[in-house]
Structure 1
Amino acid sequence: MLPYVFKPLFYEFMDNYGVLDQDKAYYRLKQIDQDGNFKFSEIVSISINNLQNDNLFKINPNPTNNNVDIKFLNKLKTNAIISIYDINGKRLIMNEVESLESDYNMDLSQLPKGIFNITLESQNGKILQSSRLIKQ
């Protein structure tokens, strides 16, 4: 039998599933005693607006000729959409990504030379990050 602990314990948790299209996430702990009794902690809300201001991805190489590697900086297990738009705002490419845990390679050989916007969007269409892409 383990002894009782009468001092504060600190917990750390990384939420890899993410909620990219939400402004807040809500969490609570379920504390289970050795005898099976349990109690829920108070619900805590976390603002995730700052996630949208961070860099969620980097593009390499940029400028590029035909292929671009997209490196996701927050390894989240969530679906997202990568789109490429021309300077007039017309969507030229749209790819669904099942997880942001792995880097992603895009073939841009069908695009003409020019300047484009590459965006990472939530499943609901909310733009999370947009970056400029140059095709030589």
Structure 2
Amino acid sequence: MKAVRYILPLLILVFLSSALCAQQIVNFEYDLAGNRVLRYLDTKKSTEAEVDSLFKAGTITDKITGDNLIRVYPNPTYGIINVEFMEIIEGQTVYFITDQNGRQVMTGKTNSLSNTIDITHQSRGVYYLVIKAPEIYQVYKIIKQ
């Protein structure tokens, strides 16, 4: 009987504390290429009890930059890689391609919004395309058939 006297208040305390916790829902938005471009953290109050103004319900938005500025296709490729920039990038933009062992097999500069890279002379396998600009550093895994 003594055990029931202690367990019942403990269960009520656990139930009430879980009811007061905020629930969070994470939502994502993707562009047409499948890249995540926006992340929402949506917090909702489950009760009217508020501890502090820091815990008010709202939405926190995190804009992911860089991923949606560059489009690389086709992948897998037979040797021709198209690199398109969605907007003009300030400063010099360079690229280099490395193989699976980390050896640099090609390097160059991008001069326009639409660029073509030819790797037909390379053997089949996995390569990494690195695009560097003053505020961008993107790595793409390229499969050459």
Structure with more strand by fraction: 2
Structure number with bigger Rg: 2
Q: Does the alignment pair 1:102 with 2:102?
A: no
SS at match of 2:65: helix
What residue number does 2:84 align with? 71
What residue number does 2:143 align with? 134
What residue number does 1:84 align with? 97
CA RMSD, Structure 1 to Structure 2 (Å): 2.2
- Scaled by the length of structure 2, the TM-score of the pair is 0.50
Q: What is the Cα deviation at residue 127 of structure 1? A: 6.7
Q: What is the Cα deviation at residue 72 of structure 1? A: 1.2
Structure showing greater relative contact order (alpha-carbon pairs closer than 8 Å, 6 or more residues apart) = 1
Alignment match of 1:51 (pick from 56, 59, 65): 65
Runs of 4+ aligned residues of structure 1 deviating over 6 Å after TM superposition are none
Structure with more helix by fraction: 2
Structure 1: gaps spanning 5 or more residues: 1-49
Letter in 2 for 1:135: K
CA contact under 8 A between 1:117 and 1:131: conserved in structure 2? yes
Structure 2: gaps spanning 5 or more residues: 1-63
